[in-house]
Amino acid sequence: MKRALNFNAGPAALPEEVLAKAQSEWLNIRNSGMSVMELSHRSSIFEDIHHSAIHSLKEILQIPSNYEVLFLQGGASLQFSMVPMNLNAPDKYADYVITGSWSEKALKEAQKIGKTRIAGSGKNDNYTHIPKLDELSVSDDASYLHITSNNTIYGTQWHEYPDTKHVPLAADMSSDILSKEIEVDKFGLIYAGAQKNLGPSGVTAVIIRKDLIHESSHLPSMLSYNIHAKNNSLYNTPPTFAIYLLSLVLEWVKDKGGLKEIEAMNTKKAKLIYKAIDESDGFYKGHARSGSRSNMNITFTLPGEAAEKQFLQQAAEAGFTGLNGHRSIGGCRASIYNAVPYSHCEQLFDFMNAFKDTYKKCGTR
C-alpha cells in the first residue's frame, strides 16, 4: 500500500512507526489476549499506559512539579468553557487576544460564563499577524489572559509569549504543542486537542498549575479540573485507545531526540515550503506576514479560483491530500505537523514549482 502525502490540518498525520506499533499490538497488548480497546481502564495494564503517558509528557515538556497533567475529553472546544468556568472569578474579567477563528470561539464561550475583555486583536487586518506584545492591553486584575498559540486557519503563530507576571497565561496549543521547546512555567494553563501533534482525536491534554485548581460546589463534576485532578483523569471512563496512541507518539518524540530535534526539523520543513512561496514571483501568496508565519500551517493563495482548483486537482492526482484551505476562507494550506516527513515536504516543494512553471508557460488564466 502506498501511503498518502498527508497534509491534513486535523485529524492529521501520525508517525508511521506509531501506527505499525499499534497494529502489532492490535489483538494482543502485553500478552493480555485483548486489544487495548477491550481493557478495563482500571486494569494494571492500562494504568501503566496511562501513567507512562503522563510521565513522558512531563519529561518531554519539562513540566515543573507544581503542575497537574490531565487527559480529558471534549476537545479544545470544551476547554473554551472549562477554562472560564474554573478560572474566571465572578467579580473579575478574563482577557482574550483574538488572532483567528478559534480564539473568537473561545471568547464567545467565555462571554456566556463571565465578564471578558479583548486585550488585543488582529481581526482588522484579516488575521495576517500576531499582535505585538507592546500592543496588548492586559489588566492587572484579570483572572487570566487567553491566547491561541497557533492559528490553523490563517497560518499565524506566536513566536514570543506575553509576560503576564502575576496574571495567569492560558493557551490553546492544540496545533503546535510538542512542535518546539517552550517554558511551561510561563503559563498557568495549557490545553491541546491531541489530533495534530499528540495523537488521535478523542483526548485533550490539560497542563495546569496546581494553585489554579480550586474546589467549586457549583460546577458540574465533569467540568471541574479539581474533580479530574483528584481522580487522576479517571473520574469517568477515559478514551483509552486515544491515550494509548498518545503514549506511543510521546515515545516516538523521545526516540527522535526530543523537542530540540523536532523543532529543528519543523523549521527546516517550513523554510522549504515558504521558499516555494517567496521565490514564485507572486504566483503563490502567503496569507501570514513573515514575522507571524506558522511553522505548522502554511496558508497561501494562487492567481484566482481557477488556478487554485487546478492546483488542488493535480495535487490530489499526484497523491497529496489535505491541501485545501479551510472552508471559511478558501485558498490552500499545507499542515506540516511533527509526523509529516521532510521527504513529503520536498515532494510538495517540487510539485509547487512544477505547477507554477507549467501554469505560467501554458498561459492558463
Strands (E), 79-163: 93-98, 115-121, 144-148, 150-151, 156-157
Rounded to the nearest angstrom, the gap between the alpha carbon of residue 9 and the centroid of all alpha carbons in its chain is 9
Question: In the chain, what are the domain boundaries?
Answer: 16-255, 258-362
- Name, in order, each residue with C-beta under 8 angstroms of 101's C-beta and a sequence gap of 6 or more: 151, 153, 154, 326, 328
The catalytic residue among 158, 176, 180, 196 is 196
Note if 26 is an active site residue.
no
Nearest CA to 180 out of 337, 70, 56, 364 is that of 337
Mean pLDDT per block of 10 residues along the chain (365 residues) reads 93 97 97 97 97 98 98 98 96 97 98 97 96 94 97 97 95 98 98 98 98 94 98 97 98 98 98 98 96 98 95 97 91 98 98 96 66
Amino acid at 320: F
The correct CATH number of 258-362 out of 3.40.50.11540, 3.90.1150.10, 3.30.300.30, 3.40.50.2300 is 3.90.1150.10
Q: Which of 102, 180, 252, 356 is catalytic?
A: 102
Transcribe 266-280 into DSSP letters: HHHHHHHHHHHHHTS
Residue 13, classed as helix, strand or coil, is coil
Q: Is 303 left (phi over 0), alpha (psi -120 to 50) or beta?
A: beta
Q: Is 196 an active-site residue?
A: yes
The Cα–Cα gap between 31 and 14 comes to 25
Contacts 24+ apart (CB under 8 A), 225-232: 225/68, 225/70, 225/82, 225/86, 226/86, 228/70, 228/72, 229/68, 229/70, 232/50
Query: φ, ψ for residue 172 (rounded to 5)?
Result: -85, 105
- Given the residues 172, 176, 180, 356, the one annotated as active site: 172
Identical fold, 16-255 and 258-362? no
Q: Which residues make Cβ contacts (< 8 Å) with residue 280, sequence separation at least 6?
A: 352, 353, 356
pLDDT score, position 327: 84
Look at residue 365 in the predicted model and tell me its pLDDT: 46
Order of strands across the sheet that contains 93-98:
67-72, 204-209, 189-193, 169-172, 144-148, 93-98, 115-121
pLDDT score recorded for residue 363: 62
Look at residues 76, 263, 83, 101 and name the one whose alpha carbon lies nearest to residue 179: 263
User: Residue 305 and residue 74: Cα distance in Å, rounded?
Assistant: 36
Cβ proximity of 110 and 86 under 8 Å = no
**How far apart, in whole angstroms, are the C-alpha atoms of residue 14 and residue 30?**
22
C-alpha cell at 280: 514564485
What global pTM score does this model have?
Answer: 0.97
C-alpha dihedral sign at 318, 321, 323, 328: positive
Is residue 279 within 8 A of residue 147, CB to CB? The reply is no
CATH number of 16-255: 3.40.640.10
Cell 485533550 sits at which residue?
204
Is residue 230 among the annotated active site residues? no
The amino acid present at 186, given as its one-letter code, is K
Q: What's the one-letter identity of residue 86?
A: N
Residue 182, Cα to own-chain centre: how many angstroms?
14
